[in-house]
Amino acid sequence: MDDDSLIDDGPPPGPDQRAERTLGALVCVVVGLVLAMFVFVFHEAWPSFAHNGLHWFGTGGSVDNQIDAIYTSGDNAARAIYTFHAWPLIWSTILITGGAAIVAFVCSLFVAVFIVEFAPDWLRAALQPVVRLLAMVPSVVYGLLGVVVLVPFINNDLISEHAKASVTPIITLDGYSLLAAVVILALMISPLMIAIFVNGLRAVPRGWLEGSLALGVNPWRTMWKVGVRTARPALIAGTVIATARGLGEAVMLEMISGSVGFAPNPADGLVFIYEPSRPLAAAIIANIDQLTSPPMRHTLYAMGAVLLFSAALLSFAGWAAKQPLIRYGLVS
C-alpha cells in the first residue's frame, strides 16, 4: 500500500474557516493598497520636497506667483522651477479644519445628548432620519448654500466699510473668507459626528444611568457625568473621522474660502476671520488642470502627501487618546 494513502489531511475547512481566510485575504489586499497609495504619492511628491527641503513648509513670497512660475517652467525641462513655500496653505488648512472641528464637536455633542436623553419620542423619530440625510448631502450642495446665502450675508452685513478699507492695499474682503469656510465645513461634518455620538451614548448601559438617577442626581448631570464620560471612545472616533473628512474637503472649500493663497493673520484683529483662506485641498482642486506640467504635478502631489500624512497623524492621535481609557479598563 502506498504510504501517501496513510496520511490523514484532516477534515476539509468548514464555512467558518473559509470565511476567516477570505476576510484575512481582503484585509491583506486593503492594507497593500493603502501602502501602495502612500508609496506612490510620496514618490511623486519627492522632487518637490527634495528641492525645497524644510522651506517647503515655510513662508516667503506669494503662493499664487510661485504656482504660476512652477507651472510655466514645465515647458522648459532644463529650467524646471520647484520653489514653493506652502505655509499660507498649511496655516489656512489648520485654521479651517481646526475651527470647524471645534464648532462641530460642541454643537454635535449637545444635539446628540438631546436626541438620546431629552427629546420626545416623536421628535427623536424625526431627527434621526434628518441627521442621516444631512450626512449624505453632497459637499457641492453645501458649497452652493455658502455661495448663495452665507457669503453675501458676510459681505453685506458683517464686514464694515472700515474693515474693507483697512486691508484694501493687501487683500480684498468680499465674503469669501475663513468664517464662511469654518461655518459651512462645521455644518457639513456635524451630521457625521452626531450619528456616531448618538450610537456611542446609546451604548452606555442603562443601569449605570438609572443608578445615578436613583442616587438623586438630576438627569442633566447624570448624562454628562456618566453617559458622556463612558462614551468617550465614540466621541474620539467621531471627532477623528469627521475631522479627517474636513481635512480632505476640497470642492466646497474651493467655492467659498477665497481664490488666493493667503494666510489670515490673527494680528489683524477680528477682521482676520473675514480674510480669504485657501487650504491645501482646495489649492489642489484649483490647479488640477495643470498636471501636464511635470514640476506642477510633483508640487500637487506634495500637497496631497501632506494631507495624507496629516490624516494618518490624526488617526494615530485618536488611537493615542484612547490608550488611557484602555489602561483603566474603560474601553477594550
- Per residue in 80-137, pLDDT (tens digit) is 888 999 999 999 999 999 999 999 999 999 999 999 888 888 888 888 888 888 888 8
Architecture category of domain 88-327 in CATH? Orthogonal Bundle (1.10)
Backbone angles phi, psi at 160, to 5 degrees: -80, 160
d(CA 265, CA 279): 14
Residue 221: predicted pLDDT: 83
Average pLDDT over every residue of 170-196: 90
The model's pLDDT over 131-161, given as tens digits with 9 standing for 90+, comes to 888 888 888 999 999 999 999 999 888 888 8
Q: Please, which residues have CB within 8 angstroms of residue 86's CB and are 6 or more apart in sequence?
A: 56, 57, 63, 280, 302, 303, 306
Backbone angles phi, psi at 45, to 5 degrees: -85, -15
Using a pLDDT cut of 70, give the percent of the chain over it: 92
Contact predicate 294/77, CB 8 Å: yes
d(CA 55, CA 232): 39
Enter the C-alpha cell of residue 331.
Answer: 474601553
Residue 103: predicted pLDDT: 95
Average pLDDT over every residue of 191-202: 90
| Size (the chain), residues | 332
Residue 154 Cα distances to 23, 172, 183, angstroms: 51, 13, 11
